[in-house]
Amino acid sequence: MISKKTAVTLIAVISATLCLITFLVTFFAVKNAPNEKGELYVTAEQYKTLAKYSKAEKIEGIIENSFYKDTDENALLNGALKGMVASLGDPYSTYYTKEEYKSYNDKMGGQYTGIGLVIKIDQTDGLPLVTRVFEDSPAEETGIVAGDKLLSADGQKLNGLDTEAVADKISGPEGTSVTISYLHDGKEYTKKVERRKVEMDMISYSMLDDNIGEIIISQFNGNCVEGFKEAINGLKKEKAKGVIIDLRDNPGGLLKDVCEILDLILPQGTIVYTENKAGKKDTYESDANYWDIPIVVLVNGNSASASEVFAGAVQDYNRAKLVGVKTFGKGIVQTIVPIQETGAAVKLTTSRYFTPKGRNIHGMGIIPDYVVELSLQAGQELTADTDTQLKKAMEVITGMIK
């Protein structure tokens, strides 16, 4: 009798192999059309490739004849493709179905299809903690509020996952539903929530005391670049003498977006460069035009990926001081490869990124210039009075202005 883990692995391998055979047969059929007798001729190399996976044909017959219930062919193939990518052992690489890829593109464009909330991972128990609920969203209508903790999605436990993996389980095609279990005021609730499109503003800004501006960046996608430009113009009109940029709980986003934003505040030079396994480098540069104002950047353990590109660049140039705690430590870049024939896509980790001074912080994170823990008492809300990190940022930037 095989173990459950072995069975799951075997099913994934079988599914992946069947899917590959289907692809190969289709590919060869397109390349070499059958003659009038229905015979299909392949090259010796093509035959070797088909023969390599011929054993799977027998297994397919066993499944077809012996499995106790009918199977969905599309679900089987999609599961096989997901299994192929999952076998890489990389939590950031994944296969998107056509519907999932559309949802991903909507999200990157600022039109998220899901239930409408922002999360971070609570380091004490590994559970997703809701930090923001968008107005007029399904989550708001369900009664989920900031401070609630998510337990499961469609019966799958969410503890121990990163923010991206949690988001993938919660989001989905418009009109579909997800059953969310969550903790609210210490009580567990389970509710079915219908997904729909939710407009997301990635940037918010305001004026604090002493002519200090604050810009909060939720993620580096959607309208973040235009929003950051609007924030700069707005704070200039308010005659801000310094600005605090809050990247706490920002899980990242698009590399091009964070580079466009950094170009607005960095002097001329390298913003970041990436390097793939072949040693090929791609460098992103800033020009000489930038907003010359004292800056402090807030970070925490959930500031990841593009947020760390931001933090690493301003730290290397000594353009800003970092306040908070060590960042997440995700120094790798994912690339989306669309599959034109099906409308699906594969997201793969393709390279590592390096700060202007050549630091790769994957698995290590970035240590702030001022390490300040955020210590809230049980049940205490984060406000201007309780936010010790923001208070330190105000102290630091006031010293930079004088």
| Catalytic annotation present for 326 | no
pLDDT tens across 305-338, in order? 999 999 999 999 999 999 999 999 999 999 999 9
Tokens coding 326: 């060590």
The three-state DSSP-derived secondary structure of 82-122 is HHHHHCCCCCCCEEECHHHHHHHHHHHCCEEEECCEEEEEC
Structure tokens at 303: 């500031």
Give yes or no for a contact between 326 and 248, defined as CB atoms under 8 angstroms apart: no
Separation between Cα atoms, residue 106 and residue 31, nearest integer Å: 35
What single letter denotes the amino acid at residue 14?
A: I
Same domain, 188 and 223: no
Which residue, 184, 199, 214, sits at the end of a domain? 199
Task: List beta partners, residue 96.
Answer: 345
Question: How far apart are the C-alpha atoms of 77 and 310, rounded to whole Å?
Answer: 39
The residue annotated as part of the active site, out of 330, 347, 351, 392, is 330
Kindly report, residue by residue over 160-177, the tens digit of the pLDDT: 887 778 888 888 888 999
Total domains, the chain: 3
Per the structure, the complete domain to which residue 180 belongs is given by: 111-199
Tell whether 49 and 126 lie within a shared domain: no
Catalytic residue among 106, 316, 347, 351: 316
Cβ atoms of 21 and 57 within 8 Å: the answer is yes
Q: Is 330 among the catalytic positions?
A: yes
Specify whether 299 is located in the same domain as 164: no
Last residue of a domain, one of 35, 55, 87: 87
Active-site residue, selected from the candidate residues 305, 307, 321, 347: 305
Residues 230 and 138 reside in one and the same domain: no
Q: What is the pTM of this model?
A: 0.76
- Least confidently predicted of 64-73, 93-102, 201-210, 216-225: 64-73
pLDDT surpassing 60 at residue 4: no
In the residue annotation, 391 being an active-site residue is answered as: no
List 322's β-bridge partners, or say none: 297
